[in-house]
Structure 1
Amino acid sequence: MAPTPQDEHDNAELTVVADMWSPACTAIRTFLARNEITCRWVQPSHPTGQKLLDEHGFTAEDTPVLIASDGRALKPTGEEQLAEWVGLHTKPTADDYDLLIVGGGPAGMAAALYGASEGLHTILLERWAIGGQAGLSSDIQNYLGFPDGISGSDLTDRARRQAAKFGAELVISLQADQLRPTDHGFAVHCTDDVTVTARSVIIATGASFRTLDIPSVDKFNGRGVFYFSALTEAPLCSGSDVYIVGGANSAGQAAVYFSSCARKVIMLVRADSLAVEMSSYLIEQIASIPTIEVRTSVEVVDASGDTHLEHLTLRDRKTGAVEEVPATWLFAFIGANPATGWLDDSFARDDHGYLLTGPDIATVDAAAWHLERPPLHLETTVPGVFAAGDVRAFNGHRVAAAVGEGSMAVMLVHKFLHD
């Protein structure tokens, strides 16, 4: 059932009028939630939605439409426009910086915090929202200093406020598409024709969500099929069966989170066991929740429905047996691919596209390093450009590892700038 205006933040200063099964609505609500902007959501068919559209000269066909409490209204045409309209910081304030960080996940935020706190004029560029994939985690239980766990959104909010306190400039909605050396450092060009220059760069772009790559499933993206969006969609799943694809920690955290509101959570795992990729503490937690069912050696092969997802076809990887099950909600947590496609060939990568850094360069592609001195530990094959977090080859794929690398990268930036 679609929520009424009373179901979400009735006193919010921003209202989104959009259909429940609109992928654009999903994208807007996720963008706002990840940037800590409270909104209420109203269906265009609801009397409140109809009234708001009429008052501002829109029809149901115009949705999604955003309406602010001060009377402003917007039919969004892009993320940058939306970010600027809701008051996010979308443009650099200076022409040149000491340190430019691309990517606002845990590694990038740690770099921004330590860079700014140690006196570097620091700017961070983030396309979507501060927090990266970690910002979408419902409950991080194994991060040092939080024995009761912490949500990705809470951790992100603390990091944002802490970095801002030290003067780091955090810019949202700029997508870097080129990095090139200059006479005095580096220039990063962004897709909306904004160029930012700096004496040093840390690449912390992480990885982009991997999709199921099944045409019949792709049709329902944002209409019952979602990737890494448990926090924003969970309220809609109350009392329903929820299918989760994946067997690593992100999938496990989502399963535990959904178990508090869903009638049943069914985990679909390609491997023979959760132990292949998931932390033991999370496996034990899942086993203790009776409303979570774990099905191993199973994969999704088809999907069907009318305006939204209604059925999934599953295949047993051992026996080949196929079954169709009713399903309205499918959340996939199946890993990610490194976000390095915007970088040119001067940046050496491993076979999977991750950036090579420090001593790893010599073990994979020694010819890619051209200076007499050895590369610094997190330095890429472009001297003065460092990499941290999930974008880097041989990384730890953990929030704590990314934070450590982000802070270490700043130490190495200091060494590079002062040598």
Structure 2
Amino acid sequence: MADSPLDSDLIIIGGGPAGCAAARMAAGVGMRTILVEPDRLCRNLYRIPALNNVLGGHTNGTDLADAIVAELKGTALCHLELGRRVTEIRADDGNVTVTIDTGARLVAPYAVVATGVGPVQPHDVTWITAPGLLTLPPLWEVKADDIQGRTLLVLGGDRPIGTFLRAHPTTDARLFVVYPAADAYKIDEIRDDPRVVLSLVKHLTLKAAGGALVSADAVGQDGTCRTITADTACLSIGNAPTAPPGDLTRGPDGYCPPAGQHPRVIVAGDLRSARFQRIMTALGSGSEAALHAYYATRDVPTKG
């Protein structure tokens, strides 16, 4: 397919909070944008049942996502390419070319990359041994009604556990959380919840126990081994960056820090670093990325 004409000022890759904020900010300063998202806008935000760290009075992800999507869809300067996946991003001295899965190439002077992160699976970490390429759902995809009165084996101690428990204060599910030493600082907020059993492990070998049950052999920090049995299992072991192929500079951890990228490629949101994966920081970085492109097109210095 032919390249798009140069009728857009900015291409935004990713329709989460950072990408949507970039598009809204760009429209506010008169920039025409194309936003590419393979799914629905703010897809992951809709799956967050409870919020306690955002402005605006939103207490769950659905309400915040609805507000963000309504804002963006009322932005006439943003053209949405939903259901499309970016297969390559290339940058040169004059423009950025973004190829999508239809074969079409979108061209603009600048691009914001805000593709975020996806859940890490057992085969991605060294402290878990699992059969083959076993995949498990992250905790935030589990429905509380499906685990009422059951025992849930949670792999990892990442913070979505606290979010899940706050969102479902009446669930009587039992969460057996096995976590490595690297997650020890994350579990303080759930330590005193009576529905949680915490187990610090050096290694976990996950195996099926027959039927719907799962079992795992856990090796503790002192070398002792115990077998854990649960009704089902899910993940809370963190996320991995989901950067598109092409001209992006990746660090050793796979993330794409803003420093060192091509001058026409601006990274925003969770893709920047594992340290600032919060909704409010994503919204702020998306807005900042759009302003960076705006000032760059006008040769306005952003420092000093």
TM range (shorter): 0.7 to 0.9
- Select 1:399's aligned residue among 268, 279, 289: 279
Find out whether 1:199 has 2:109 as its counterpart: yes
In 1, Cα distance between equivalents of 2:60 and 2:20? 16
- Select 1:216's aligned residue among 131, 149, 156: 131
Assess if the C-alpha contact under 8 Å between 2:91 and 2:265 holds in 1: no
Find out whether 1:101 has 2:35 as its counterpart: no
Assess if the C-alpha contact under 8 Å between 1:270 and 1:317 holds in 2: no
Q: State the one-letter code of the partner of 1:357.
A: P
Find out whether 1:357 has 2:258 as its counterpart: yes
Deviation at 1:304, TM superposition (A): 0.4
Aligned alpha-carbon RMSD (Å): 2.8
In 2, Cα distance between equivalents of 1:351 and 1:273? 20
Q: Rg larger in 1 or in 2? A: 1
Once the two structures are superposed, residues 354-405 of structure 1 have per-residue CA deviations (whole angstroms, 9 ceiling, x without a partner) of 22324xx4xxxxxxxxxxxxxxxxxx2x122111112114752221111111
Match of 2:241 in 1: 338
Find out whether 1:152 has 2:61 as its counterpart: yes
- Select 1:126's aligned residue among 12, 34, 37: 37
Output aligned runs, 1:290-309, within 5 Å.
290-297=194-201, 299-306=203-210, 309=212
Q: State the one-letter code of the partner of 1:125.
A: V
In 1, Cα distance between equivalents of 2:252 and 2:183? 27
Q: State the one-letter code of the partner of 1:106.
A: P
In 1, Cα distance between equivalents of 2:272 and 2:281? 11
In 2, Cα distance between equivalents of 1:337 and 1:387? 15
Q: State the one-letter code of the partner of 1:226.
A: P
Deviation at 1:320, TM superposition (A): 2.7
- Select 1:239's aligned residue among 149, 160, 165: 149
Quickly say closer, same or farther: Cα 1:126–1:111, change in 2 above 3 A.
Answer: same
Q: Aligned with 2:121: secondary structure?
A: coil
The alignment of Structure 1 onto Structure 2 pairs a total of residues equal to: 290
Q: Aligned with 2:8: secondary structure?
A: strand
In 2, Cα distance between equivalents of 1:266 and 1:259? 17
In 2, Cα distance between equivalents of 1:316 and 1:169? 52
Once the two structures are superposed, residues 180-208 of structure 1 have per-residue CA deviations (whole angstroms, 9 ceiling, x without a partner) of 23685222111232322222110111122
Find out whether 1:249 has 2:164 as its counterpart: no
Output aligned runs, 1:8-407, within 5 Å.
96-131=7-42, 133-146=44-57, 150-167=59-76, 168-181=78-91, 185-213=95-123, 214-216=129-131, 218-219=133-134, 221=135, 225-230=136-141, 233-257=143-167, 260-271=170-181, 274=184, 276-277=185-186, 283=189, 286-287=190-191, 289-297=193-201, 299-306=203-210, 309-340=212-243, 342-344=245-247, 347-358=248-259, 361=260, 380=261, 382-393=262-273, 396-407=276-287
Assess if the C-alpha contact under 8 Å between 1:131 and 1:152 holds in 2: no
In 1, Cα distance between equivalents of 2:51 and 2:107? 35
Assess if the C-alpha contact under 8 Å between 1:245 and 1:251 holds in 2: no
Find out whether 1:411 has 2:261 as its counterpart: no
In 1, Cα distance between equivalents of 2:48 and 2:204? 23
In 2, Cα distance between equivalents of 1:406 and 1:141? 20
Q: State the one-letter code of the partner of 2:131.
A: S
Once the two structures are superposed, residues 160-185 of structure 1 have per-residue CA deviations (whole angstroms, 9 ceiling, x without a partner) of 11111123333322111111236852
In 1, Cα distance between equivalents of 2:253 and 2:43? 20
Deviation at 1:210, TM superposition (A): 0.9
TM-score for the superposition, normalised by structure 2: 0.83
TM-score for the superposition, normalised by structure 1: 0.62
Q: Aligned with 2:218: secondary structure?
A: strand
In 1, Cα distance between equivalents of 2:183 and 2:242? 29
Quickly say closer, same or farther: Cα 1:400–1:134, change in 2 above 3 A.
Answer: same
Higher RCO (C-alpha 8 Å, min separation 6): 2
Deviation at 1:108, TM superposition (A): 1.1
Unaligned segments of structure 2, at least 5 residues: 124-128, 300-304
Identity of aligned residues (%): 22
In 1, Cα distance between equivalents of 2:24 and 2:227? 49
Once the two structures are superposed, residues 123-169 of structure 1 have per-residue CA deviations (whole angstroms, 9 ceiling, x without a partner) of 211123322544432212122333xx622232222111111112333
Q: Aligned with 1:226: secondary structure?
A: coil
Quickly say closer, same or farther: Cα 1:300–1:128, change in 2 above 3 A.
Answer: farther
Structure with greater helix share of residues: 1
Quickly say closer, same or farther: Cα 1:323–1:230, change in 2 above 3 A.
Answer: same
Deviation at 1:251, TM superposition (A): 2.8
